[in-house]
Amino acid sequence: MDSTDLLRSAFDSCSTCFPQDEIDPWEWWIDEFDRTAEGTHEHPYVCLVCVLDEKIIGGITWNSFPKGKKAIAAIGFLWIDGSKAQMRGKGYGRATFAKARGLMLSDAEARGQILDAIILEANIDPIGGVLEDTRPFWEKMGFTSIGSDAYYLPSLMFHPETGKPLNAPIRLELMVKPESSSMPVEELLEFVREIYFDWYQPDRADFTNSDAHREAGAYVKGLFDSFAATLSRREPASIPSS
């Protein structure tokens, strides 16, 4: 199987777990992968699959966000295939995360950086009977909720002529696992800003006019600013390492 076919199998497997308005379209997966392979991606992307008896049963994706000598890894998806429910609760999720974390640490080191933290957006509400509250799982993996009730996944799709979002934003829990020492909230916010706009800033090419593009951009910025306002009031102003 070549690497594009492997990525496609990972995408299909991931699609059994996440509803359509939460999962990036296939074109985005392949674009992330191509730019990383070409060495032109500012935030290198990795998709690692979990294989059992030569079959993909799950996987994990993440991007690395470097800043000077530090870097953060931002997890996009971790899943154990929803069509193989009997595979859940057997330690494969933990093992997949552990393998990924090892790679995040060694990749940062190979780039001459220190992995400052791992960050992710956890589901809190059951969605379409598919996803459940995953905070308890992530807490077991050493993550802490940052304590904002204003973090949202924006709509990923927009009307091309008006720039209006086509889906409602989804409330998610931002969780962090500091890797080196406790993490000041201000520093965390700078990373989250970069991740949020890298992942969710709408692409100009998707709109027929510049007003629509501006409208969609303002919607994403509005969601981020509301979240940032809650975080700037956070006490204590640092996240302890576990």
Ligand X SMILES: CC(C)(COP(=O)(O)OP(=O)(O)OC[C@H]1O[C@@H](n2cnc3c(N)ncnc32)[C@H](O)[C@@H]1OP(=O)(O)O)[C@@H](O)C(=O)NCCC(=O)NCCS
Q: Which residues contact ligand X by CB under 6 A? A: 17, 77-80, 88-94, 122-123, 131-132, 134, 136-137, 140
Minimum CB–partner distance for residue 59 and ligand X (Å): 10
- Tell me if 119 sits within 8 A of 104, measured CB to CB: no
Copy the structure tokens of residue 127. Answer: 């969605």
* Residue 8 CB-density burial (10 A; 0-12 exposed, 13-18 middle, 19+ buried): middle
- Of 22, 44, 20, 24, residue with least CA distance to 33: 44
The residue (of 68 and 89) whose beta carbon lies closer to ligand X is 89
Minimum CB–partner distance for residue 217 and ligand X (Å): 26
The residue (of 232 and 242) whose beta carbon lies closer to ligand X is 242
Amino acid occupying residue 25: P
Minimum CB–partner distance for residue 126 and ligand X (Å): 10
Minimum CB–partner distance for residue 63 and ligand X (Å): 14
The residue (of 87 and 105) whose beta carbon lies closer to ligand X is 87
The residue (of 13 and 215) whose beta carbon lies closer to ligand X is 13
Phi, psi angle pair for 105, to nearest 5°: -65, -45
Helix (H) / strand (E) containing 122 = strand 114-123
- Nearest residue to ligand X on Cβ basis: 93
